[in-house]
Amino acid sequence: MQQHTSRRQVIAAAAGAAAAIGVPATAAAAPSTTTAPTAASAATAADRRSARARAVRTVRRMSLREKVGQLFVVELYGQAADTEHARNRELYGVGTPAEVIAKYRPGGVIYFDARRGPDNVREPRQIARLSNGLQHAALRTGARIPLLVSIDQEGGSVVYRMQEPATLLPGNMALAASRSPRDAHRSADILGTELAAVGVNQNYAPVADVNINPENPVIGVRSFGSDPQLCADLVSAAVRGYHRGGVASAAKHFPGHGDTDVDSHSGLPEITHTRGELDRIDLPPFRAAIRRGVDTIMTAHIVVPALDPSRVPATMSHAIVTGLLRGELGFDGLIVTDALDMGGATEDYPPDVAPVRAFQAGCDQLVLAPEMDTAFDAVLSAVRSGAIAESRLNASVVRVLEHKLRRGLFPHPYVSERRAMRTVGRRRHRRDARALTERTVTLVRNEDGALPLSGAARGVLVTGWGPEPVGTLADAIAGRPGQSATRLETGAVPSEAKRAEAAAAARSHDVTVVLTNAAAAGSEGGAAQAKLVEELRAAGTPVVAVAVRNPYDIRRFPDVPAYLATYSYGAPSLAAVDRALYGDLNPSGKLPVAIPALDDPSAELFPYGHGLGYGGRG
């Protein structure tokens, strides 16, 4: 009876406080569908409502500018909170990351490595110190609200930010090749544990898109594959894994980015699925994530006419964000935009329009809005003018604050630098990552027993795409007794001269291993890499092709004697290739996608689930 009474009191308190600031009482009293990690995952409904009530009370004492600030997730340049960087001044008018926090009081930040420019993530102690410095800056200004510190650390070799000594994991499609929810859970657990140790509390993962289009230029191996049920199972397992590791999870890119041949970073893709197809193909992984308690869902910059005939991008669509995701699917966690500086958002929406439209559609947080001063002022003006009701603003800020409360950020915003150094890349993580990776290697073709190679002395030419992958594999082979290896990298679009050089080199070796990555060839589509493979075959030396990203490359050279798919060009995947080539590892992966014929997409070269092994297994 006492428990029942306390729950009623919490609900009443939440509803009363919500009414005072204009948040609908039903939203304030409703239990969240998200689940926080570790001990918090067992929180009672009363605990969740208590967090909502405290969030509502906090919003009551915030200024309008402070509330608008909580909607934004910004990038910051530099490796320390108090270090000047010219790019911060160019973008925000202030020099240090701490000054950016003080100026805008954003709800969150997002880390990038030097490839994009911010250069936030070098090594564990530095990242932890940056996180602590940013939290200190947030907690000494305004309403003193801790930050969501976010990152895109999906695993694999396509979308990642933290590099070694962080543990390198094989990525989603690779994990799907093992068909193991346990492996997907463990991978996310390792990623989450290492992120949490350095003060990152929100990972924008897992990808929930179902990749049914071999020409997809932006998702591909970031997806768990082409089967909706497999994707749903592994997305669910990954959400649990991130929670166990101690970070919030984010399913993306809603309502599904898997069937497109346009990259939303540079253009605006259109998904032509019917509503029935969306329900069968695209939505199951998101439904599974919601059932599992995913904290956040990220929208996609895609047009989906079956869901919104007005043809606005999903990020800007009230019908998709509020009608489908909030209403029909019942998601009550955070909804965040994909980066608003991507072409899919900027193509038709200038910097003063995109953030307002996305917020009006129902998004809670606006990620990487270009021209931050313009974006901030546009949202602020929209609230002041009534174009955005203050009750609508309050509802999103309550969700942001409740999320932070349930993540434990208010009492525990800081991390231990010493613990970060002990945790990131720890031996157990690396050992488990190796085992996970070895279960993903897929032997797609092996004519006349071309593989495994015997231990007889031989010279091996390692050629094809990528200086680092070619070098890594060549070094591994050369480290074997009796094996010598020559490296000859030919580029993403090998020229006629490079192809001739590689063919000549093949004639003086006993076997050739060629790495392919047609996705790296851009609009050329890997045609020159395919010519390289065929010219190497014509040289008369046995050829083994290894697709180190998308498994579809064999469509362009279907007669290659032996073909392995790794779904990743990271060092652990290449180590697994070395072991598979020589039979130390019996490939056990199964294709998570079907591989169609190049000239007839309706015909399958290799079906979903195909995978060979040695010794009659597979």
Residue numbers annotated as active site: 265, 338
The residue whose two tokens read 């996305």 is: 358
What are the φ and ψ backbone dihedral angles of 169, each rounded to 5 degrees?
-105, 160
Give the containing element (helix H, strand E) for 604.
strand 604-606
Neighbours of 412 (CB within 10 A): 11
Measuring CA to CA, which residue among 579, 296, 351, 297 is closest to residue 455? 579
Tokens of 455: 């231990």
Rounded CA Rg of the chain:
25
- The CA distance from 363 to 320, in Å, is 10
- The CA distance from 154 to 494, in Å, is 29
The single-letter code of the amino acid at 217 is P
Give the containing element (helix H, strand E) for 514.
strand 511-516
Cis previous bond, 146, omega within 30: no
Provide, for the chain, the percentages of residues in helix, strand and coil under a 3-state DSSP scheme, each rounded to the nearest 5: 45, 10, 40
- Cβ neighbors of 365 (< 8 A, separation 6 or more) are 70, 71, 72, 73, 107, 108, 334, 335, 336, 337, 396, 400
Count of positions (residues) in the chain: 618
Compute the CA torsion angle 80, 339, 239, 291 (nearest 10 deg): 140
- Cβ neighbors of 325 (< 8 A, separation 6 or more) are 254, 255, 286, 297, 331, 335, 362
The single-letter code of the amino acid at 400 is V
- Going through 111-201 in order, the beta strands assigned E by DSSP cover 148-151
- Going through 287-399 in order, the beta strands assigned E by DSSP cover 296-299, 334-336, 366-367
Start-to-end Cα distance in the chain? 59
CB 557 within 8 A of CB 447: no
